[in-house]
Amino acid sequence: MATTSRDYYEILGVPRDVDADELKKAYRRLAMQYHPDKNPGNPDAEARFKEVGEAYSVLSDPSKRRSYDLYGHARGGIPDMGFSFDSAFDLFDMFFGGSARGRRGGAERGSDIRVNLDLTFHEAVFGVEKVIELNRSDPCGECGGSGAAAGSSPVTCNQCQGAGQVRQVVQSVFGQMMNVTTCPRCKGQGTLVEKPCQVCNGQGLVAGHTTITVRIPAGVDETMALPVPGEGEAAPRGGQRGDLIVGFRVKKHPHLVRRGTDLVYELPVTIPQAVLGDTITIPTVDGEYQLTVPPGTQHGKTITIAGHGVPDVRSGRRGNQVCVVRLVVPSSLTAEERSLYEKLGGRDGQPAHVRKGFFDQLRDAFKG
């Protein structure tokens, strides 16, 4: 369970786009600085070491990092990050050769399954429930996932005595420490199958099929991925299932373009509408909207409709719809229209901004 509400990137002093190598370097430096063996009896250093380990345990795991980037510390149905104080020492052991705190062996975790869902633009904005069919491995019904034939059971590994790890005392900068490695005989399982199950050939797994319903939160986009805990591949011999990682392909909207939580709409406006003003019916994700275009509106002007954008997946706060005015100049004119434009004059070889009263003239011409 997470023990801090501070930003993990801030704790490790790294930017949000940090790569794995720089993340590891930052963790090693801080873990070395605050390790309890270097700060005996210092509760502040121990707390800091715990905080650093928690941050790295999340950000170093691609699935957990995506979940954290998407949802922050607020779980909202997202799985617990699975951090404990012991895991801080486990991480340190991984890089610095072990400590007096050993790790217990156990069954391996199942693999993650990655799928991409096709979403409409509206579904991505407002969220949706999707049914997903998965072909995945399941525990063998014959042996109960143990991998052992009927009437037999896995036996304790005689090399690691069931720990799944072998240990060796080594010298380090902190003095004598314990180096812990995965047992090469049982591959970290702690047990061995002497009589394999004939159905699953000792693997403890068989092919399976399932259907699950996933709630897609409002505001997702194609850069995000949603982890669904415990819905991945089964693990041999009763280990924890992997996760289902759901990515997204979002269909484009015919009129709106997403920019973060804002939506951009190119608003075509005729010259009379720009000069005289108008109330124009435009599309939004919430339906049609009556937008007021003020008189004298210039090409490229933006008109913002607050709160009609995309919800932020973490806060739920909606962005805006930004309407960018595009002045539409007619490519052909009727005789009457041409006569009105001729009355305006202005074809004097001068730039439009030099002429005085151009829009006043145009307004008067259209008013008759």
End-to-end CA distance of the chain: 74
The per-residue pLDDT for 173 is 59
Whole-number Å distance between alpha carbons of 185 and 155: 12
Q: How far is CA 173 from the centre of its chain?
A: 39
The residue to which tokens 């002497």 are assigned = 194
DSSP codes, 172-190: ETTEEEEEEEE-TTTTT-S
3-state helix, strand, coil in the chain (%, to 5): 25, 30, 45
In order of 109, 197, 327, the CA distances from 239 in angstroms are 5, 17, 64
Whole-number Å distance between alpha carbons of 291 and 278: 8
Q: Which long-range contacts (CB under 8 A, 24 or more apart) does 222-229 make?
A: 222/247, 222/248, 222/249, 222/250, 224/66, 224/70, 224/248, 224/313, 225/63, 225/66, 225/70, 225/114, 226/70, 227/63, 227/64, 227/66, 227/67, 227/78, 227/79, 229/79
8 A C-beta contact, residue 256 and residue 263: yes
Residues near 100 by beta carbon (within 8 Å), at least 6 away in sequence: 177, 178
Q: What is the pTM of this model?
A: 0.61
Q: Which two structure tokens, joined as six digits, stand for 292?
A: 């007021």
8 A C-beta contact, residue 59 and residue 68: yes
Which pLDDT tens digits describe the chain residue by residue (368 residues)? 445 667 899 999 999 888 888 998 899 889 888 887 778 888 888 888 888 888 888 898 887 887 787 766 554 334 444 555 555 555 555 555 444 443 444 557 889 999 999 999 999 999 999 999 999 999 998 988 888 898 888 898 888 888 888 887 776 656 667 777 888 888 777 888 889 999 998 888 999 999 999 999 999 999 999 999 999 999 877 778 999 999 999 999 999 999 999 999 999 999 999 999 999 999 999 999 999 999 999 999 999 999 999 999 988 999 999 999 999 988 888 998 888 878 877 666 666 654 445 555 555 555 55
Q: Looking at residue 232, what DSSP letter applies?
A: S
DSSP codes, 244-300: EEEEEEEPPPSSEEEETTEEEEEEEEEHHHHHH-EEEEEEETTEEEEEEE-TTPPTT
The per-residue pLDDT for 192 is 87
The per-residue pLDDT for 101 is 42
Angle at alpha carbon of residue 62, lines to 206 and 92, rounded to 5°: 105
The per-residue pLDDT for 312 is 93
